[in-house]
Amino acid sequence: MSSSTYIPGTCNLGANEIRQRKLVGLVGLFFSMSSLIGLISIEAAREARLGIFLPLMVASVGFVQVRNKFCLAYGFAGTFNFGKLGDISRVSDPINRSADRVASVKVLLKSFLLASIATLVVFVLPF
């Protein structure tokens, strides 16, 4: 798949935008690991471990968008970007916008599933 051409429901991010999503994923991963270390060090209650879901969700959204070369926010908004950051273009065809919304829901569901599984693992760990 080309990373320099808009493909409805498949690709709406160029190289600069992909780098931004990688950064979001890494920041989410950093906060996830920091949270996990903090929870372990203070011997937090098992229920408190559920709070790690949010940083895990940020990480998974970032990484799923990178993997798919598809931004869920752009998909919902009917936009794409293959130029410099902030140089957003609109999707004019309603069929293409619909395909992008479907792809956005898939990215969101994949991210939610990944973050939920990782949160469950943290929840059941014996520490």
Q: Is 76 exposed, middle or buried (0-12, 13-18, 19+ CB in 10 A)?
A: middle
pLDDT-based confidence at 3, cuts 50/70/90?
A: low
> Sign of torsion, CA 16 21 22 24?
positive
Is the pLDDT confidence value at 120 over 60?
yes
φ, ψ at 29 (rounded to 5°): -65, -40
For the segment 12-38, the average pLDDT, to the nearest whole number, is 96
pLDDT-based confidence at 85, cuts 50/70/90?
A: confident
Question: Taking the mean position of all CA atoms in its chain, how far away is CA 110?
Answer: 9
Is the pLDDT confidence value at 1 over 50?
no
pTM recorded for the entire structure: 0.90
